[in-house]
Amino acid sequence: MTDLAHLTTCLRNARVVVRDSLTYLYVMSEHQADMTRYNLGRGAFSSSIALFATLNLLAKIHFILSKGASVIVDEEQIKTFNHVKDQIKQAPNISWAEVRPFMQKPRIGTVNESDAFASFIQDCPVDFGLPRNDSDKVRRIWASYRNKLTHLVALANDVQSGQMLMGLSIQPSQSGMYEENLKFIRGRMDKYKPFDLPAAETKSVFKDKEDISAFIKQHILNDKCHVERLAVAVDLSLDWLVKSIDEGVFKAENLAALAGWLQLELAAKVD
């Protein structure tokens, strides 16, 4: 029997991240005045970074469960890389020093996170507001949000084609509002999704309008991610993934591949 202890731990931690992120919704629902009083951040950035990291984990787990060990970099792929590298070094008209920056050596255990996310969006019944039939666009959104937030703690601040994190401002913010607001958000996920991508027609109408301020135009034209909706969507996605595993949707060999991958990734690295 496949040992799924590491999987259980990862999924339990994923649930903790969701609860951490919902703390943001609780504070904004019931203690918003304290944010101004103590000059505190709202938590949208820290919550989104954690949620995208969790979504990355869920997508990779799903990718391996769906496709098996073939999506995990192994020794054979390292050998292929080294073979190609040797051929380039021996080629008379190619300098390895010039090519090297474009040929990063793969790491054993790597799973392409853009491919994993695109596959996850295509299969997951939770609608994130991303096009299931346009993997290239999904990959672009992933790179725009996950990579920039993780490595730069920033998004592209461009009026015409940037990205925005949409925070939450709730009035009244007072005791007892959290449960009501969470129920409201959950109940409207079919209409108000985590990602809001303006249609091409909208962009063509508004991008050259000079009578609209840059501030307003940015809110119309930019891709937007609503953090509180993202937290709920990740939570619902986690429910779906756990249920699929429990119901035996995935092949036993793919579960074994996942267990091996998690054990490898969680093992302490000694240089």
88 lies in some domain: no
Percent of the chain with pLDDT over 90: 63
- Per the listing, tokens 């703690």 go with 153
Residue 222, amino acid: N
pTM value > 0.95? no
- Asked whether residue 77 is domain-assigned, the answer is no
- Evaluate whether residue 239 is within a structural domain: yes
Q: Residue 268 has what DSSP assignment?
A: P
Q: Is 191 exposed, middle or buried (0-12, 13-18, 19+ CB in 10 A)?
A: exposed
pLDDT tens for the chain, residues 1 to 271: 567 888 888 999 999 999 999 998 999 899 988 888 999 888 889 999 999 999 999 999 999 999 999 999 999 999 999 999 999 988 888 888 888 888 888 899 999 999 999 999 999 999 999 999 999 999 999 999 999 999 998 898 888 888 998 877 788 889 999 999 999 999 999 999 999 999 888 888 888 888 888 888 888 899 999 999 999 999 999 999 999 999 999 999 999 999 999 998 988 565 4
pLDDT digit string (tens) for 21-56? 999 899 989 998 888 899 988 888 999 999 999 999
How many other β-carbons are positioned within 10 Å of the β-carbon of residue 153? 10
What pLDDT, on a 0 to 100 scale, did the predictor assign at position 35? 85
- For residue 211, the model assigns a pLDDT of 85
Residue 176 lies in a domain: yes
Distances (CA, A) of 86 to 82, 91, 99, 139, 166: 6, 9, 12, 31, 49
Sheet architecture: strand order including 223-226: 163-166, 223-226, 195-196
pLDDT digits (tens, 9 = 90+) for 236-262: 999 999 999 999 999 999 999 999 999
In a domain, 34, yes or no: yes
157 within domain boundaries: yes
Give domain status of residue 271, yes or no.
no
The predicted structure's pLDDT at residue 256:
94
Q: What is the span of the domain harbouring residue 135?
A: 5-72+109-266
Domain count along the chain: 1
**Looking at residue 266, what is its pLDDT?**
87
Whether 46 contacts 83, CB under 8 Å: no
Burial 107-124, CB ≥16 within 10 A → b, else e: eeeebbbbbbbbbbbeeb
Q: Is 176 left (phi over 0), alpha (psi -120 to 50) or beta?
A: left
State the CB neighbour count (10 A cutoff) for residue 76.
Answer: 8
* Residue 254 CB neighbour total at 10 angstroms: 19
Instruction: For the beta carbon of residue 99, count every other beta carbon within 10 angstroms.
Output: 14
Q: Is residue 255 part of a domain?
A: yes
99 vs 244: CA distance, rounded Å: 43
Q: How many CB atoms lie within 10 A of CB 234?
A: 24
Residues 6+ apart with CB under 8 A from 20: 47, 50
Contact partners, residue 206, CB within 8 Å, separation at least 6: 212, 217, 220, 221
The tally of CA atoms less than 13 A away on the side-chain side of residue 159 is 11
